[in-house]
Amino acid sequence: MPQRIVLSGRAPHVGDVVLLPVRRGGTKRARLLAQNVALPGQGMIFVKIDSTLRGPWVELVETLATRLGAEPLLCPAFPARGRTLENGLPMVEGVPLFESTSLAELIAARAPALRCSIPDARSDDDLDAVARGAAAAERRLVVGSAGLAEAFARVTGSADECAPLADAPAARGPVVVAAGSRAAATARQVAQLGDRAVVLRGKALRMLARAAVEAAHGGTLIACGGETALQILHALRVRVLMVYGEVAPAVVLARPRNRDLTLLTKSGSLGQDDALVAALEALALLERRGA
């Protein structure tokens, strides 16, 4: 079924995804949000972090671990995107992310009291094993990237049980791209769009988001970069977002609650060069099927 995402100011329901915007907010903000977010009394809490370990995630995890009295299982590997964990070293395309610094050493430097279980993962099979082990051990706190999240979907069977895109409202109106990410992948993806969309760029993400929302006029808005997507939600004054699934690899279809707008989001650094073109073609196909 469609998945509900709520911004941090709302109390979550069971199964909700809570958005904690900490990447650029500093360690104090990360601790504050982690301290104040509502937590369920039982069950697993999965904390999704960046696969290249950007942002004050250590402080976020330490605060949650203290509140829960639980030792986190930590595995940020995402082998499908070239990010692995080998002998405790985070790797990107086979190159150490932090020269010779291990993940345990990175944590110790920022949160000396935090103890984590850190399994290696070089493949999706490794991630599936991590997910099975975490579920069997009834882990209270699990931390990983989208790679581990996908592994949980595979091992629980939920990845094969639903087709949420069938429930998505039809996308209509103009197509606007807010290219806030400066990643090379985003530049290549936008270049392939040609005249299929109006492309807006800018380093001031708040201004970019407001301009993009105005230009979309209830049509389709594509946000390239997580921070760009967050600023678009702020510009829309949205507190709840319904996510329907991927229309193309790494491109996710969502609809803000009570707003007539189709929102596509993607990480600035992920996706093939034709990712945005493929996403728009998939949207057109969904519209024809629903006509």
Q: Which residues contact 107 (CB under 8 A, 6 or more apart)?
A: 58, 74, 114, 116
Q: Which of 154, 156, 158, 194 is nearest to 177 (CA)?
A: 194
Q: How far is CA 42 from the centre of its chain?
A: 24
- Residue ranges of the domains in the chain? 3-160, 164-290
Phi, psi of 247 (to 5 degrees): -90, -15
Ordered per-residue pLDDT tens for the chain, 291 residues: 567 888 766 667 777 888 888 877 789 999 999 999 988 888 899 999 999 999 999 999 999 999 999 999 999 999 998 999 999 999 999 999 998 899 999 999 999 999 999 999 999 999 999 999 999 999 999 999 999 999 998 998 765 555 567 667 777 778 999 998 988 989 999 998 888 898 999 889 999 999 999 999 889 999 999 889 989 988 988 888 888 888 888 888 998 887 889 999 998 888 888 889 888 888 887 776 654
* pLDDT confidence of residue 291: 46
Per the CB < 8 A criterion, the answer to whether 85 and 76 are in contact is yes
Separation between Cα atoms, residue 232 and residue 202, nearest integer Å: 13
Report the 10 Å Cβ neighbour count for 256. 20
Q: Which CATH number fits domain 3-160: 3.40.50.10840, 3.40.50.1820, 2.60.120.1440, 3.90.1640.20?
A: 3.40.50.10840
Q: Which fold has domain 164-290?
A: Molybdenum Cofactor Biosythetic Enzyme; Chain A (3.40.980)
- 84-128 pLDDT, tens per residue? 999 999 999 999 999 889 999 999 999 999 999 999 999 999 999
Q: How far is CA 179 from CA 95, 126, 209, 277, in A?
A: 28, 34, 10, 14
pTM for the model: 0.77
For residue 223, the surrounding DSSP H or E stretch is: strand 220-224
**Angle, CA of 6, 221 and 149, to the nearest 5°:** 45
Which class for 222: exposed (0-12), middle (13-18), buried (19 or more C-beta within 10 A)?
Answer: buried
